[in-house]
């Protein structure tokens, strides 16, 4: 991964965090993880979650657990552009006040369908030799939503690390979500810059391993997935979901600033297309 080719990041359609992020010291990155990672992995693959792994946005899906499966107007009216993370904290507090339980939220998350071909992609990664893929999830959802779905799908052990906004139930039965970190990117939501996460992770793992990965892959869909993808190098591959914001923004970048986006771009409708591309690349 070379130096960043953009000085700022794309703004998600509903960016959580502050309208003008404060330039504060980055907090230590927290991650949910599964055990020690061996240093012999050839490839590193990152996944987004909402509308990449699952065919829904989990923050929208949790509303189905609310009374009448909708939120009151007064609560929706509290949303302010650039403060989506704070808004979701209020939504989760409202659900608890209405008697929505952990079991209710977990079962709602478990009902989310996977995107076309995604479980086939997971099976492909699972069946590869253990030295092939290190698998990491980077999402602006939250750890509880993500882990609930992955465990139900039998896919939790596939992921070596999960980077997301931490969320746990308190003693009163409310799901409390906190921002993931702070950062200095002037355009990303205040609670998460995925490029910071990706860069820090790759730098740390490269140092631990004593060598770089052969290739790095990024599978995503949203505008906030462009930011980490611009840090990829010419041997790496970005897999944007076709006709979703990530794909459109990369296409605009290729047209408006040729050569600025360095990674190979491989759009997908079904994740089986990702499998086909990976199968060729691992055989090289």
Positions at the binding site for substrate: 59, 140
From 148, 123, 117, select the one nearest 135 (Cα to Cα).
Answer: 123
Catalytic: which of 28, 40, 50, 172?
A: 50
Pull the structure tokens for residue 239.
Answer: 């897999």
Catalytic: which of 40, 48, 104, 190?
A: 48
Q: Look up 48 and say whether it is catalytic.
A: yes
Measure Cα distances from 142 to 18, 60, 139, 148, 190 in Å. Answer: 18, 13, 7, 10, 15
User: Cα–Cα distance between 3 and 18 in angstroms, integer?
Assistant: 26
User: Cα–Cα distance between 145 and 167 in angstroms, integer?
Assistant: 8
Helix-strand-coil split of the chain, %, nearest 5: 40, 15, 45
Pull the structure tokens for residue 106.
Answer: 């977990």
Cα angle 226, 162, 21 (rounded to 5 degrees) comes to 50
DSSP, collapsed to helix, strand or coil, labels residue 250 as helix
**Residues flagged as binding site for Mg(2+):** 48, 50, 221
Measure Cα distances from 127 to 37, 48, 82, 109, 123 in Å. Answer: 17, 21, 41, 26, 6
Burial 171-188 (b: 16+ CB within 10 A, else e): eeebbbbebbbbbebebb
User: Cα–Cα distance between 220 and 214 in angstroms, integer?
Assistant: 20
Q: Look up 55 and say whether it is catalytic.
A: no
Catalytically active residues, by annotation: 48, 50
């Amino acid at each position: 991964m070379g130096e960043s080719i953009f000085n700022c990041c794309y703004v998600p359609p509903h960016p959580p965090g502050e309208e003008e992020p404060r330039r504060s010291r980055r907090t230590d990155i927290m991650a949910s993880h599964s055990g020690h990672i061996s240093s012999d992995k050839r490839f590193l693959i990152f996944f987004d979650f909402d509308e990449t792994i699952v065919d829904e946005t989990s923050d929208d899906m949790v509303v189905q657990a609310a009374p009448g499966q909708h939120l009151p107007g007064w609560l929706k009216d509290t949303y302010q552009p650039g403060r989506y993370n704070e808004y979701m904290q209020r939504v989760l507090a409202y659900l608890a006040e209405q008697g929505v339980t952990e079991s209710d939220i977990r079962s709602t998350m478990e009902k989310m369908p996977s995107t076309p071909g995604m479980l086939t992609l997971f099976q492909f990664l699972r069946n590869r030799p253990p030295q092939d893929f290190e698998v990491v999830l980077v999402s602006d959802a939250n750890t509880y939503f993500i882990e609930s779905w992955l465990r139900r799908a039998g896919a939790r052990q596939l992921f070596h690390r999960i980077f997301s906004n931490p969320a746990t139930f308190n003693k009163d039965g409310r799901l409390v979500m906190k921002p993931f970190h702070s950062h200095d990117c002037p355009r990303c939501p205040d609670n998460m810059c995925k490029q910071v996460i990706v860069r820090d992770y790759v730098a740390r793992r490269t140092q631990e391993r004593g060598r770089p990965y052969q290739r790095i892959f990024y599978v995503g869909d949203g505008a906030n997935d462009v930011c980490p993808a611009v840090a990829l190098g010419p041997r790496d591959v970005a897999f944007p979901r076709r006709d979703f914001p990530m794909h459109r923004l990369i296409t605009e970048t290729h047209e408006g600033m040729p050569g600025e986006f360095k990674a190979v771009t491989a759009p997908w409708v079904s994740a089986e297309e990702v499998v086909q591309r990976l199968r060729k690349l691992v055989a090289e």
